[in-house]
Structure formats: C-alpha cells, structure tokens
C-alpha cells in the first residue's frame, strides 16, 4: 500500500482536516534516522505494505526461526532421533531458554523455566503461593485478583481457590495495594492491562502485598519485551508470561515461570510431573522435587516450539531493554499526536494513560464503530485488533515498528473513520 496523499473529499464522506499535518512526515523521518534500534528491523520477516501493530497479540516472525526449525526437524529429529535429548541439548532447553529470557525480566540464571502455557503457569504459581502462605500460619484464605484481569487468569484463580480452601476477591488493580490484609494469601496482578494498555505499579504493589504478609504473582504477558520489569530488584515472588507477543516466539510458543530464589525450596507445585523430579529417570514411585528452576517443569517439553522460541530470542542480541522502553514511549506519544491530528474530533477516545509511568506499549482507542472499522483498516494495510464492544487496540513493538509506519497508521485510521 503506497503512502500517498489522502483520498479526495466526496459530498457525503467528510475527511479530516489534514492541512496542519505536513510536519508529521518530516518528523517521522528524523525520528527513524535517529532510532538506536533501527538495525533490529532487518532481523524480522515483514511486509513493507503492511503496518503491523498487533505484536501485543502475536509478534512478527524472526528471520532465524524457519532455518532453525528446518534443522531441528531434518537433522535433530530426522537423523539423530532420540539421541537429540542429550546430543542436541533438548533435555536442558527449558532452563537454558529460561536463562535467555531472565535478563529481559530482571531475573538471574536458574530463576526462570520455560514450558507449558501461561494458564498452566498461573495455576502452578497461585497454588504454590497459597501453600507457602498457609505454611506460615492459618487465617489467610483470600486470593486477590485484578478485577480487570484477562479472563483466563480469573478462571484459574477460581479453580486455585476451590482447591486450596480460599475465596477469590476481585478488586481494581490500583486498589490491590490498599486492599491486601491479614486474610490475603496471594495477589494476582496483570502488569499491563490487556484492554487499555495501562501499566500498573509493580514495585509499589509488590511491596504493599509483602508488607501485608502475602505473596504477589505477576502476569507479564503484555510487558516482558516491551519495558524493563526488574523482578529481582523489586522482590517479586512469582511471575508468569507468554512468549508469543513482544518476545516474538511464534503462535502457541511456550510460556515461562519465575520463582523468587528465596522461595524456590518452598515451592510445592500442584503439578509434580516426572520432568520436575530430582531424579526423573529413576522412575520412582514417590515424588522428590528438583532444586531450582527445574522444579517448575511438568512433562515432556514441547521441543519444536521451544527451539523456535530459542532462535527467536536471538533478535535481542545487542539490544538494551532501556532503549526499547524509550522507543516504545516515543512511538506511542507520536501515534497519539498523529491520531489527534488526522482523526476528526469526537470519533475516538484514548483509553491509554498519557502519563509514561502508567503506559505499556499499546494504545487503545474507544470507537463506536470499532468492529466495523478494524476489518477495513486491515484491508488498507494497518493491522491491529478489537476488544469488544468498542476498543481498537494497537500494539507497538519497538524492535521493528518505525515512526513512518505510525504516522501512516494514524492517517489511515482518520480516512476510515471519516
């Protein structure tokens, strides 16, 4: 799709007044020329005719992945077969890849294990946290849950509560710090709200929950890979996250689990599979948990998707997460400015906070015609998604999104909504 001038006016299709937008293209060019991360874009397979703003649902394909998958299938599986568990390092992949993710979430070696889905890891973390809380004494029978959480987290919390004799109490995420009390066993919080893109105060909420004698479990699905997280520095107890959004691991890529080092020996996983046994090949009838990160494993790792993720993580070589955050804020600032200039007043309302301290790496626009508008945006080469009933959602992946694309996307939004 060429970046041409706006379509001509028609009597019954008003267009926004773009007479004052001539500076935006020049500014986008200057920002792209100064972009510290511009070199990373070539590490992805991208369509120059498409502005891809859905990396907060599924990241773009890293160029290294197809070749690596072919090698795994043709050589490691096809020729070596079962020998690859040792000779190709398949057995140690969950911890090895966890160590690759660890710096992106502010964790150390041996603190992150990769495997299973986010939902499964939320379940492990919640039940494990409640068991630790119960071991400290009776009376903690409450799981606090972010009231705006992604639905699955709420479903899992309800199941964990039924299994552990707790009750779930849903409160707004920004009230969790104040609501945590003597009955709270654990709080489950999303770092970034999936609908609005609001970033919550991980250090402050974690400290308040800990001060109340409870534990905190953080869902990092919409923050890891988009901004600094610093799990160890802020004393986070448990964290989980997916790898197919800002970490670009591919559809259905395995998730990860973080357990604070001081809690690892007390972590009693509700899913004690043979892979997390201290001697997995002893095939013992009694369970003895492994030490460290392997305690978070369950069953046989999903090797194909896991090794695709490992190859995908190569895009982070030479990338500073601080530079990613700086560009994320610059991209979203510029997008909001362009939307204000290209989209007629009153057609959209930003649900994403203006304050940098409260913004993730997405912008959500409330729009009455959202469900009709997004298919047309996609047809015109601007890919985002919709959250019903009326939210247009756009994710900004700093590793491959340019400022020129941001301007183009806002201009097309203005055309479609007009």
Query: Which residues are tagged catalytic?
Result: 150, 219, 244-245, 393
Alpha-carbon distance of 354 to 15, in angstroms, equals: 26
- Token pair, residue 373, equals 């508008």
- The beta-strand segments (E) located in 68-201 are 112-114, 142-146, 167-171, 184-190
Largest CA distance in the chain: 79
Instruction: Give the torsion through C-alpha atoms of 148, 150, 152, 158, to 10 deg.
Output: -20
Q: Give the β-pairing of 362-366 and 142-146.
A: unpaired
* Residues β-bridged to residue 167: 142
The total of other beta-carbon atoms located within 10 Å of residue 220's CB is 29
Note whether 370 and 195 are within 8 A (CB).
no
- Going by C-alpha positions, the residue among 307, 314, 290 that lies closest to residue 90 is 307
Q: Which residue's structure tokens are 């891809």? A: 52
Note whether 189 and 219 are within 8 A (CB).
yes
């Amino acid at each position: 799709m060429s970046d041409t001038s706006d379509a001509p006016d028609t009597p019954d299709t008003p267009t926004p007044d773009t007479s004052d937008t001539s500076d935006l293209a020049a500014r986008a060019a200057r920002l792209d020329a100064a972009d510290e991360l511009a070199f990373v874009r070539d590490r992805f397979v991208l369509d120059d005719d498409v502005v891809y703003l859905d990396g907060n649902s599924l990241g773009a394909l890293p160029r290294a992945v197809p070749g690596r998958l072919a090698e795994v299938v043709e050589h490691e599986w096809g020729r070596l077969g079962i020998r690859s568990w040792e000779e190709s390092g398949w057995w140690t992949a969950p911890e090895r890849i966890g160590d690759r993710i660890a710096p992106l979430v502010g964790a150390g070696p041996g603190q992150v294990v990769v495997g299973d889905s986010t939902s499964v890891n939320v379940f492990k973390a919640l039940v494990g946290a409640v068991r630790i809380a119960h071991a400290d004494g009776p009376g903690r029978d409450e799981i606090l849950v972010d009231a705006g959480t992604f639905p699955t987290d709420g479903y899992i919390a309800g199941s964990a509560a039924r299994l552990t004799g707790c009750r779930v109490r849903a409160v707004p995420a920004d009230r969790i710090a104040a609501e945590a009390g003597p009955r709270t066993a654990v709080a489950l919080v999303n770092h970034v709200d999936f609908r609005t893109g609001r970033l919550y105060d991980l250090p402050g909420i974690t400290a308040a929950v800990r001060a109340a004698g409870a534990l905190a479990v953080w869902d990092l699905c919409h923050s890891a890979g988009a901004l600094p997280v610093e799990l160890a520095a802020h004393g986070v107890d448990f964290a989980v996250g997916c790898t197919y959004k800002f970490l670009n691991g591919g559809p259905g890529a395995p998730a990860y689990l973080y357990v604070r080092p001081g809690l690892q020996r007390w972590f009693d996983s509700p899913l004690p599979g043979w892979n997390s046994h201290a001697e997995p090949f002893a095939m013992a009838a009694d369970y003895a948990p492994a030490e460290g990160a392997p305690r978070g494993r369950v069953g046989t790792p999903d090797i194909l998707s896991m090794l695709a993720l490992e190859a995908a993580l190569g895009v982070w070589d030479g990338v500073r997460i601080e530079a990613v955050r700086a560009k994320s804020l610059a991209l979203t600032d510029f997008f909001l400015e362009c939307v204000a200039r290209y989209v007629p007043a009153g057609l959209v309302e930003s649900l994403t906070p203006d304050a940098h301290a409260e913004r993730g790496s997405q912008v959500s626009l409330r729009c009455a015609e959202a469900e009709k508008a997004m298919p047309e945006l996609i047809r015109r080469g601007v890919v985002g998604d919709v959250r019903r009933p009326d939210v247009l959602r756009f994710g900004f992946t700093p590793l491959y999104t340019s400022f020129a694309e941001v301007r183009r996307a806002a201009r097309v939004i203005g055309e479609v909504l007009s």
